[in-house]
Structure 1
Amino acid sequence: MLIRSEFDIQFHLPQELTMVAMLRLHPSVDPLVREPEELTLEHIETAPQGLELESKTSIAAEEYLDSFGNRCSRFVAPQGTLRISGKSLVEDDGQPDPIFTEAIQHPVEELPTETLQFLLSSRYCEVDQMSQVAGDMFGHTTPGWARAVWIRDWVHNHVRFNYNTARPTKTSLNVFTERVGVCRDYQHLAIAMTRAMNIPARYVTGYLGDIRTPYSGPGDFSAWYEVFLSGRWWTMDARHNEPRIGRVLMATGRDATDVAITTSFGVAEVKNFYVESYEVDEQGVTVPLVGGGTRDKKWVPPFGL
């Protein structure tokens, strides 16, 4: 199956500033890309009345890989309106997230050295403060897949989703006490508890559209996490908590700090935010939604910019 992903984000910049964007697909996805990925950075001249003029100026960016292997774009944007847009087309096997109930948990001394950082506390995942709680709650579970699923399911069942509760300072401990949050909050709590039980867990961002599943509204970038068992990383999602089709990987890190889609070194006010990921056929025609209906391309509230 083919998946088209696209976005259009616009900012008002009171003054010139430097920005780092993490809006490219992850290098590991390259074998699945079926047409050149696009990322466009533009400065838009606006009339005094706020009307957009035809004149747009391209902004050059420096591309690099960060310490986690994610693609980043660093650029300087002038004062005014900044537009960041892009699209991609990837081929997916059409299979839901894999399940391997026999996956084993490695003793810490046998873990690959590159996974050890995903056992430690990070900005949003306070492993040290969650260790006693996690041990009391999940110490009785069977190490390995069963333990990872117990943690994922507990978070899913005890946290309520609410966009209005989103805030950039909310940590896993806050989520545990408040029991409400958005996608990234579910994942942060699950990651902290999973690490506390000595299973490496890393934060993931990417596209996750309503593909071959009932439509849930305007799209957004999504967050999930991965656990290291039986020598590889496995997808977990404490928010959706069911195998999904069509995840498109953008970045991985310790938590949301490492994979913010944009990081602004100055004030950048979001004016437009559109994201969508959907299935298309070989001719590029959008595949109809499950149950019919049409996709809503209205502005959706951003989080984690």
Structure 2
Amino acid sequence: MEIRVGYQIEITTAQPVSCMTLLDPHPSRDGDMVSLPRPRVTSLADGSEVRVREYTDGFGNRCRRLLVPAGGVLFTSDLVVRDAGIPDQWDKQAPEILPDDLPSEVIEYMLSSRYCEVDEVSATAWNLFGSFAPGWNRVQQICNYVNAQIRFDYQFARNTRTAAQAMNERVGVCRDFTHLAIALCRAMNIPARYCNGFLGDIGVPPDPAPMDYNAWFEAYLGGKWYAFDARHNMPRIGRILVARGRDAADVPMIHTFGPHLLQRFEIVTEELAATRA
């Protein structure tokens, strides 16, 4: 199938502000591009195109840097990505790997991070999940718990909420589901990393709170990374990865080194009907 993804995001600033963004499909999806991506950044003051520099961060994500002029900018992109059109793939026999046997490059996904306080949820994690069969089953039990523990509500979004706070407050958005699941996995010595990207309501009934830009996580089992989604708690079709990191602090969609106001946020994620099998 082919999936159209894009965005129109507008921010305003009172003065020039340095900015970094992680908005576009991950380099691992470059081979799936049907149309070449050409994200644009235009000045709200005069409509001119703003110069953007691209780099790859320590997690392998595609990042862009720019100087937002006084008045602000409009970020736009519209492209088509080819996708296999199959749900997330799992191996229900995938085992956990003992910490001493893990590759060194995944160790950082076992540690506490800004939004995932492993030490604060460790006792709870072992009490809840210590008796479950290790491996895929344990990660799925964590997803079941988080899905039942947190009520999804856009009105209660808060960008400072941590995993432990989400567990106690029992409300949040997809990043809160993801942070809590990651923290619980890490507490059980299962490496877990934060992912975000485009995810439309493809192959599922219409949702009154439709998805467009979503957070999920990957757990390292049996020597491979597998996608899990504590928010939806079911395999989904058409995830278009944008970025991975330890938690949301590593992969902000837009981060300015100074104040800005978000004025417009429109995301497109839709299957192109002409490609439907």
TM-score normalised by structure 2 residue count:
0.96
Aligned counterpart, 1:81: 72
Match of 1:189 among 180, 186, 191: 180
SS of residue matched to 2:95: coil
C-alpha contact 1:191 1:225 (8 A) present in aligned 2 = yes
Aligned counterpart, 1:3: 3
Aligned counterpart, 2:166: 175
CA drift at 1:129: 1.3
Aligned counterpart, 1:248: 240
Q: Distance in 2 between matches of 1:265 and 1:100?
A: 42
Q: Distance in 2 between matches of 1:281 and 1:162?
A: 30
CA drift at 1:172: 0.5
Is 1:273 aligned to residue 265 of structure 2?
A: yes
Q: Distance in 2 between matches of 1:218 and 1:154?
A: 23
Aligned counterpart, 2:196: 205
Aligned counterpart, 1:97: 88
Residues 87-139 of structure 1: CA deviation (Å, up to 9, x unaligned): 22111111001121100111111111111000000000000111111011111
SS of residue matched to 2:112: coil
Aligned counterpart, 1:125: 116
Aligned counterpart, 1:295: none
Aligned counterpart, 1:302: none
SS of residue matched to 2:145: helix
CA drift at 1:282: 5.0
CA drift at 1:253: 0.2
Q: Distance in 1 between matches of 2:274 and 2:165?
A: 46
Q: Which stretch of the first structure deviates more once superposed, 82-91 or 199-208?
A: 82-91
CA drift at 1:164: 1.5
Q: Distance in 1 between matches of 2:210 and 2:95?
A: 38
| Amino acid across the alignment from 1:271 | Q
SS of residue matched to 1:37: coil
| Amino acid across the alignment from 2:21 | A
TM-score normalised by structure 1 residue count:
0.88
CA drift at 1:34: 1.3
SS of residue matched to 1:63: strand
| Amino acid across the alignment from 2:22 | M
1:1-305 matches, cutoff 5 A: 1-45=1-45, 55-216=46-207, 217=209, 219-281=211-273
What is the CA RMSD across the aligned residues, in angstroms?
1.2
Q: Distance in 2 between matches of 1:100 and 1:258?
A: 28
Q: Distance in 1 between matches of 2:23 and 2:12?
A: 19
Task: List alignment gaps of at least 5 residues for structure 1.
Answer: 46-54, 288-305
Structure richer in strand, relative to its length = 1
CA drift at 1:62: 1.0
Q: Distance in 2 between matches of 1:265 and 1:272?
A: 19
Residues 161-208 of structure 1: CA deviation (Å, up to 9, x unaligned): 111111111000101111111000000000000000000000000000
CA drift at 1:215: 2.2
SS of residue matched to 1:99: coil
Aligned counterpart, 1:290: none
Q: Which stretch of the first structure deviates more once superposed, 210-219 or 92-101?
A: 210-219
Aligned residues with identical type, % of pairs: 41
Q: Distance in 2 between matches of 1:144 and 1:202?
A: 16
Aligned residue pair count:
275
| Amino acid across the alignment from 2:271 | E
Task: List alignment gaps of at least 5 residues for structure 2.
Answer: none
Q: Distance in 2 between matches of 1:181 and 1:109?
A: 35
| Amino acid across the alignment from 1:105 | E
Q: Distance in 2 between matches of 1:88 and 1:208?
A: 14
